[in-house]
Structure 1
């Protein structure tokens, strides 16, 4: 129980930091080439055991929130670490695919409209399916 509370406090702190982080000065923080933003993500898993011996787990994208510039090309590289495979969609787009354990999935994207686009693993979309496995692509 204390572990869950501690994890929740850490998550709240990180979320607050990201939410109130100062605006970028335009520097391509994630850029390899100066023209295309490259974002690296991985699949992850939290696993624990309840007091009565029940194993509980949840799959996640890491990082769970990514800020992207509108109208700029973006390369999203996702490496499968935990879980056999994660079929996904990016809500509000036609983008879909699958991340497999031990493999890299590379997506070349461009979001022209600001907003929040959810990267959703369709195999882990809810708590009942060991999720929700959702990352937030925040386009400004």
Structure 2
């Protein structure tokens, strides 16, 4: 079991919350995945190890982990939701050809919330930033810096 999962389990150790084998498997899968999988992809992968896991169990546990603030549900356009383990502030670049999603960090954007809060008098709770383009696998050569 990896350190991130162990830390998350300690956050979930509250009365009435059970750590099931299925929940643990989902947590471990998401902390080691870089692919931003859909619920269906998670189900198919976990079904290889846990043949009795159901699609409903995966969806219910994803919703639970999202409610606990441990994972993030990503909704890009009309496609189905994708999930990732919430680790640090980061952003996404999405291929318009194949749908591949990569993470990138841009610390300058983190200051955006503070500025927006000052200017708008809103209590800012978060922001999303995503860029769209064509990945190298789909034929776009990377730009040289």
TM-score, structure 1 length as denominator?
0.27
Give the number of the structure with larger relative contact order, counting CA–CA contacts within 8 Å between residues 6 or more apart.
1
Higher Rg of the two aligned structures: 2
1 or 2, which has the higher helix percentage? Answer: 2
1 or 2, which has the higher strand percentage? Answer: 1
TM-score, structure 2 length as denominator?
0.26
